[in-house]
Amino acid sequence: MKNILFLLFLILILQSGLKAQVAVIVNKSVPQDTIKKTELLDFFTGDIKEWPDGKPVIVKELKAKSKVREAFYDYIGKNPSRMKSIWLKKMLSGEGDPPESITDDTAMVKKIETTPGAIGFVAKDKVSDGVKVLLFIQKD
Amino acid sequence: MNKIHAILILSLISTPKLFAQHDNSSLKIFGYFQSLASYETALNTFQGNDQPTKTSFSLQQLNIFFQKDITDKWRALVNVEFVNNFSSSRKWGSVDLDEAWIRYRANAYFNLKLGLLVPVFNNLNEIKNKTPLLPYIIRPIAYETSFENFIPVDEFLPSSTFVQIYGFLGVDKLKFDYAFFAGNTSNINTNPEFGQTGVDTTAALLFGGRVGLRANELKFGISFTKDNLNGNSELQRELALFPSISLHEVPRIRLGSDLSYYTDKFSFESEIIRVAYDDDINGAGFNKYFYYTTFGYRFHERFFAYFTYWNLFSDLTDFAINENQLILTKGESDMRIPGFGLTYNLNERTVLKAQFATIAIDTKIKSLGISQEANFNYYALAASVYF
């Protein structure tokens, strides 16, 4: 019985570890402290390209498939292949450029820190003091 | 082909990094092409068709873009298009300056484009030539620019205009899209023997637009254009025998409507286009109607399958000799094309496509008791690559 309880406990611990916790981060120059889901969608689909102060929004995304990436796109309601199709359409219509793909969370944090107007997403535990967090997303 | 390869290689060598937002320091060169293998078999043909099967390999289309962000607000873009194995020495295919515009973006709500541009009209007009975006090899037939010799694409669609304002207004999920444009009528005449070719500067202004609503992935819109047709063509010359009919400055209205919806797996898109000419062209008829609908299903990140149905209906005007007299005949042609296809994303930049379509064309001229039917099956494989 003790063994079974221990096993259940272990499964619960492991499951909580698998939850993807995502932080939506921006460069400190960005003139807002929170963000709505619809705004995120507008920025990542390229519909809106300016912050409220008129400065350009520079979108960055994670290159590799990961739980963080999956959780982020789940949250905004688009799968990666649909996003790719939206960005390609913007590019071939001359209406926008696809976001730069960043190799990993650490590189993403550095990029956001050093790029005015930048917005991206990383695992919650990778956030540094050099960026501003607008939103936490937790995927069960 | 050698010229196309040379241009392609040059473009690849000088292509800067594509995925860099607001990297406005450099000229960006990018593009795409689609290579096609097709097999067509005629099940039942009009009289005189002595080629029941056709096999064709071709570079269906190659587009090269040059893009430069002049400032954060201004962008210039040039798009050159080569169609059907273009070769000037062998007189194959064609090369077109598809787009050359400068855009001012004030914000999402107001954009202004000036120059040669493809206007927003229904779902597909703006992207009809962007083959990597479309699952089709042969596009819904009113949009198939590589069939321009026998499908009058320019009659169904405003192929180019010279000024456009566009953008969207809205809050949260609901957006109101608008686009209004103006330019010259597309000239259907390509033979200098029959009058002016190129842009028709004799006709009245073409103007039109699209207004629509968008709620996330549900999109609906209504499009229209108003212009005049100057029929500088062989038909016009023949019509000189019938003084009551003139194809000069004939008022024309295009009306369109589009509806599309996408989910994670499922997609739906549909369009209607109605082309109506002034009713006063005595005895002649040129009205046209086109409809398409496509249901798609993405059953894997790389695989997409779709079923599509197209219908193109047009009035026909032609001539016949009846009891030693040349008479004008008015009939109708009805083309119905159901089909299905598959796409496979081979890698980030290459899409493989397969398509099957079965084509039925009914032509009727009641006054002469003529009714003809033709059926074809069409199979195609293609690779669409962007670089």
Q: What is the mean pLDDT of residues B70-96?
A: 88
Mean of per-residue pLDDT scores for chain B: 84
Predicted pLDDT at B108 = 87
Predicted pLDDT at B317 = 78
Residue B4 has pLDDT above 60, yes or no: no
The whole-angstrom separation of Cα B188 and Cα B360 is 25
Q: What is the mean pLDDT of residues B229-239?
A: 66
CB distance B167 to B175 below 8 Å: no
What lies within 8 Å, CB to CB, of B34 at 6+ separation is B59, B60, B61, B131, B132, B137, B382, B383, B384, B385
Domain boundaries, chain A: 19-139
Q: Which of residues 80-139 of A touch B (CB under 8 A)?
A: 80-82, 85, 88-89, 91-94, 96-101
Predicted pLDDT at B17 = 47
How many inter-chain contacts (A to B, CB under 8 Å) are there? 72
The whole-angstrom separation of Cα B22 and Cα A96 is 9
Between these two residues, A53 and B240, which has the higher pLDDT value? A53
- Strand pairing partners for B53? B41
The whole-angstrom separation of Cα A22 and Cα A139 is 8
Residue B16 has pLDDT above 50, yes or no: no
CATH numeric code, A19-139:
3.40.190.10
Between these two residues, A115 and B47, which has the higher pLDDT value? A115
CB distance B385 to B350 below 8 Å: yes
Residue B298 has pLDDT above 50, yes or no: yes
- Strand pairing partners for A58? A118
- Does any CB of chain B come closer than 8 Å to the CB of residue A79? yes
Would you place residue B51 in the very low, low, confident or very high pLDDT band (cuts 50, 70, 90)? low
Predicted pLDDT at B13 = 43
What lies within 8 Å, CB to CB, of B219 at 6+ separation is B123, B212, B213, B258, B259, B260, B261
Q: What is the mean pLDDT of residues B58-71?
A: 93
Predicted pLDDT at B166 = 97
Q: Is A81 exposed, middle or buried (0-12, 13-18, 19+ CB in 10 A)?
A: middle
Average confidence (pLDDT) per 10 residues, chain A, 140 residues = 61 53 94 92 92 92 85 88 89 90 93 95 92 87
Would you place residue B285 in the very low, low, confident or very high pLDDT band (cuts 50, 70, 90)? confident
Predicted pLDDT at A61 = 92
Residue B307 has pLDDT above 50, yes or no: yes
Per residue in B325-339, pLDDT tens? 777 778 889 999 999
- Interface probe for B, chosen from A29, A63, A76, A93 (most Cβ of B below 10 Å), is A93
The whole-angstrom separation of Cα B79 and Cα B10 is 16
From chain A, the residues in CB contact with B21 under 8 A are: 56, 58-59, 96-100
Query: How far A55 CA sits from the closest chain B CA (Å)?
Result: 9
Predicted pLDDT at B155 = 87
Among the partner residues A48, A79, A96, nearest to B264 by beta-carbon distance: A79
CB distance B301 to A80 below 8 Å: yes
Predicted pLDDT at A30 = 94
Average the pLDDT over each of A59-63, A90-94, B16-20, B366-370 and give the range with the smallest value: B16-20
Q: What is the ipTM of this complex?
A: 0.82
Predicted pLDDT at B86 = 83
Query: How far B224 CA sits from the closest chain A CA (Å)?
Result: 21
**Domains of chain B as residue ranges with CATH:** 43-57+105-386 (2.40.160)
Is the Cβ pair A101, B107 closer than 8 Å? no
- Does any CB of chain B come closer than 8 Å to the CB of residue A56? yes
Residue among B38, B33, B34 at smallest CA distance from B339: B38
B279 token code pair: 């009713």
Find the residue in B nearest to A39 (Cα).
B172
